[in-house]
């Protein structure tokens, strides 16, 4: 491979723990992880929790939980530690204070005393005069007398980075050569007047100190790249980090409904919802991989091992990707079908427990039922959570068994109840309670003798037995439910009238 790096590759996944983890985060983690696992490098997980107003411990815990659920492992980061820790930025403030001071001493950053009002006014004037808005360099070269008078006024300075006056050009791993003119990238704030360091400082400082070699992140961050590149240069100059600037690759936008960028607040972004509905992590990740990457032109389904083996950045497509919830479900359904049935049963159990259908620890009888039912539903499922409605009728206690009112209204009318009574008669003296005997008895009585179409014959029986119009195959369901419970449900349904 042409681009095999000579030094060890180190990537970072560095989310901020705000709100619920979203699809964009998972895709960034996935691309970094596949990239670095393919090359045998180091996956660093860093938590960017310096925004005290937005970050929370709860979001942090959820983030780790979701990362584990998705099956990611990290070589350095929370809970595993590593040589460049701590990996939570909230534990690194002294590092940032030190670097900020050294940047100021070196002249690459300077104190800016402008008030917000002054900045706004000057911006307004620039706009009116047809010049680009943004910081105008007012405090770049203050005399000590000017500084003294600002200090005497009680002003507290921010620390601003001095952008170079030359254009910034870099070779993006996904999009090729990109250049930014300096007038479009004004000097920017690194540290607030209250001493609080900003993302603009802490993210590149940690990338430098943690010796990150490749930054793969969303295109929404492209505009911060020229500023960060200039800052890496300054950091190298003052001896922070290894001195090597990481290579950048910007992953394509993901478009949601109505051709708008998928936002982290859109419901289809919420990773917890995928877990709650019972997506398989391997199904969801397979789909997220397709948001900007492909393993081959005519292939959608692959495992994470296959992705790692195949992942190269040159197959990342710079064009926006479209988030298609239906396709995500379809891919998950394929992964569900690929599971061995015992594994499917094992993964379904927590969803049945959450619905109160199976207790904890799992009683052997319940497990046996789920195992027996799993082959009946495997082909019909899109998510694990659907098992609750599909096989709940086998697990629910007879007191709690209830027929869906809409389905009863439609199918258990007077004709339907006749059918249920006939089914009860046909089954009540059956010698063998197995699928083929059950099927033969019902077909003889309902289809041959009563002359019903199969749909009219079996629909009412299905509703009486499973509580729903949609269920696993009927004869197998009857066998699994057992003679006694089946007959009693038919009897109860017939008595509804
Ligand atoms: N903490 C930043 C974010 O979540 C990281 C951005 C980056 O990858 O540089 O947006
Ligand atoms: Zn200023």
Residue 480 lies in a domain: yes
State which of 251, 281, 314 marks the end of a domain: 251
pLDDT at 15 over 60: yes
Residue 292 lies in a domain: yes
pLDDT at 37: 98
Query: Are residues 133 and 239 both part of a single domain?
Result: yes
Q: Ligand 1 within 6 A of 14 CB?
A: yes
Strand order in the sheet with 158-161: 109-112, 158-161, 188-191
pLDDT at 472: 96
Residue 387 lies in a domain: no
**Best residue among 30, 173, 221 to mutate for probing ligand 1, ranked by most atoms within 8 Å of CB:** 221
Query: Are residues 181 and 290 both part of a single domain?
Result: no
Query: Are residues 135 and 206 both part of a single domain?
Result: yes
pLDDT bucket at 385, cuts 50 / 70 / 90:
very high
**Quick one: which ligand is closest to 246's CA?**
1
Query: What is the rounded average pLDDT of the residues 463-491?
Result: 97
Closest ligand 1 atom to the C-alpha of 218? 8
Q: For the chain, give the mean pLDDT.
A: 96
Which CATH number do you get for residue 208? 3.90.800.10
Query: Are residues 103 and 148 both part of a single domain?
Result: yes
Closest ligand 1 atom to the C-alpha of 28? 8
pLDDT at 133 over 90: no
pTM of the model: 0.93
Query: Are residues 215 and 115 both part of a single domain?
Result: yes
Query: Are residues 99 and 247 both part of a single domain?
Result: yes
Above pLDDT 90, what percent of the chain?
Answer: 95
Query: Are residues 352 and 292 both part of a single domain?
Result: no
Q: What is the pLDDT of residues 279-302, one digit of tens each?
A: 999 999 999 999 999 999 999 999
Query: Are residues 296 and 445 both part of a single domain?
Result: no
Q: Are strands 176-180 and 168-172 parallel, antiparallel or unpaired?
A: antiparallel
pLDDT at 7 over 70: no
DSSP conformational letter for 249: E
Q: Are strands 109-112 and 214-218 parallel, antiparallel or unpaired?
A: unpaired
pLDDT bucket at 497, cuts 50 / 70 / 90:
very low
Residue 259 lies in a domain: yes
Q: Known catalytic residue: 156?
A: no
Domain span holding position 444: 405-494
Query: Are residues 200 and 286 both part of a single domain?
Result: no
Number of neighbouring beta carbons within 10 Å of residue 263: 12
pLDDT at 1: 43
pLDDT at 183: 84
Helical (H) or strand (E) element with 381: none
Query: What is the rounded average pLDDT of the residues 231-242?
Result: 97
Query: Are residues 323 and 432 both part of a single domain?
Result: no
Query: Are residues 235 and 258 both part of a single domain?
Result: no
The number of domains in the chain is: 4
The Cα–Cα gap between 348 and 377 comes to: 11
Query: Are residues 125 and 271 both part of a single domain?
Result: no
Residue 74 lies in a domain: yes
Q: What is the pLDDT of residues 20-45, one digit of tens each?
A: 999 999 999 999 999 999 999 999 99
pLDDT at 132 over 90: no
Residue 388 lies in a domain: no
pLDDT at 3 over 80: no
Residue 385 lies in a domain: no
Residue 320 lies in a domain: yes
Query: What is the rounded average pLDDT of the residues 196-210?
Result: 98
């Amino acid at each position: 491979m042409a681009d095999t790096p000579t030094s060890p590759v180190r990537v970072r996944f560095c989310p901020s723990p705000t709100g619920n983890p979203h699809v964009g985060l998972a895709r960034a983690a996935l691309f970094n992880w596949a990239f670095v696992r393919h090359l045998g490098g180091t996956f660093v997980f860093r938590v960017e929790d310096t925004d005290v107003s937005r970050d929370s411990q709860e979001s942090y815990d959820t983030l780790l939980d979701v990362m584990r659920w998705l099956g990611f492992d990290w070589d350095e980061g929370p809970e595993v530690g590593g040589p460049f820790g701590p990996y939570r930025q909230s534990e690194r403030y002294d590092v940032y204070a030190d670097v900020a001071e050294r940047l100021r001493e070196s002249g690459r950053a300077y104190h800016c005393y402008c008030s917000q009002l002054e900045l706004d006014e000057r911006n307004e004037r620039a706009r009116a005069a047809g010049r680009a808005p943004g910081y105008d360099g007012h405090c770049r070269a203050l005399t000590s007398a000017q500084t003294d008078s600002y200090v005497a006024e009680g002003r507290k300075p921010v620390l601003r980075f001095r952008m170079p006056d030359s254009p910034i050009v870099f070779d993006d791993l996904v999009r090729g050569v990109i250049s930014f003119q300096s007038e479009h990238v004004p000097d920017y704030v690194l540290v607030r007047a209250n001493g609080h360091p900003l993302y603009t400082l802490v993210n590149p400082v940690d990338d430098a100190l943690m010796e990150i070699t490749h930054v793969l992140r969303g295109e929404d961050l492209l505009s911060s790249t020229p500023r960060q590149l200039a800052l890496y240069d300054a950091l190298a100059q003052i001896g922070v980090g290894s001195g090597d600037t990481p290579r950048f690759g910007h992953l394509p936008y993901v478009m949601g409904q109505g051709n708008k960028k998928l936002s982290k607040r859109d419901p289809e972004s919420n990773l917890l919802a995928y877990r709650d509905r019972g997506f398989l992590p391997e199904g969801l990740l397979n789909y997220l991989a397709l948001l900007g990457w492909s393993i081959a032109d005519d292939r959608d389904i692959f495992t994470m091992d296959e992705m790692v083996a195949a992942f190269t950045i040159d197959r990342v497509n710079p064009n926006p990707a479209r988030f298609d919830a239906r396709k995500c479900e379809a891919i998950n359904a394929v992964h569900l079908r690929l599971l061995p049935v015992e594994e499917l049963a094992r993964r379904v159990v927590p969803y049945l427990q959450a619905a109160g259908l199976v207790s904890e620890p799992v009683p052997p009888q319940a497990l046996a039922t789920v195992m027996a039912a799993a082959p009946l539903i495997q082909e019909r499922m899109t998510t694990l959570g659907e098992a609750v409605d599909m096989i709940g009728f086998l697990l629910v206690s007879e007191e709690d068994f209830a027929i869906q009112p809409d389905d009863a209204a439609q199918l258990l009318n007077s004709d339907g109840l006749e059918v249920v009574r006939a089914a009860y008669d046909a089954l009540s003296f059956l010698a063998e309670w197995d699928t083929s005997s059950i099927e033969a008895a019902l077909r003889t009585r309902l289809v041959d003798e009563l002359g019903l179409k199969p749909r009219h014959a079996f629909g009412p029986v299905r509703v009486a037995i499973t509580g729903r119009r949609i269920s696993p195959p009927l004869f197998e369901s009857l066998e699994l439910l057992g003679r006694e419970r089946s007959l009693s449900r038919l009897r109860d349904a017939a008595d509804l009238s």
